[in-house]
Amino acid sequence: MRLQDFTLLGKKILVGIVVTVVPLLILLGSLYLTRKVLTSDGATEQVSSPATSHAK
């Protein structure tokens, strides 16, 4: 193997890392946000529930 082969391998590995990491970050972020958004949505409901029952 020559120096240019090592350079080529390095570039190839880098491409592989980008192609792996970008979708992984998108999925991690979107799954985290799904839970976060719907949990805060649920928390609002819990807070508003007693007020609604009090009004009755």
Partner 1 sequence: MKMDAEVRQKIISNSLASLLIYALPVALMLLTFSITGQRPWLQAAPTVSLLRFYQSFEHALGPLHDYGLTIFVVVLGIVEFSFGLYENRWTKTERATDIACFAASYIVLRPFFTYVGLKLLPAVLPGLKNRFAWVPFFWGVLIICVADDLTQYWYHRLHHQVPWLWRFHRTHHSAAYMGMAMASRQNVIYTIFFSQIYLTAALAYLGLGGPAVIALVLKSVITTLAHSSIPWDKPFYKYKVLHPVAWVLERLISTPATHHAHHAATTDDGIGYYKGNFGNMFFLWDVIFGTAHISREYPKSYGISHYQGDEWYAQLLWPIFKSKVEGSELAANGPMVK
Site residues (vs partner 1, CB under 8 A): 1, 5, 8-9, 11-13, 15-17, 19-20, 22-24, 26-28, 30-31, 33-35, 37-39, 41-42
Beta-strand ranges (E) seen in the chain are none
For residue 39, the minimal CB distance to partner 1 (Å) is: 8
Nearer to partner 1, 3 or 55 (CB): 3
Nearer to partner 1, 4 or 54 (CB): 4
Q: Which residues of 13-39 are buried (b: 16+ CB within 10 A; e: fewer)?
A: eeeeeeeeeeeeeeeeeeeeeeeeeee
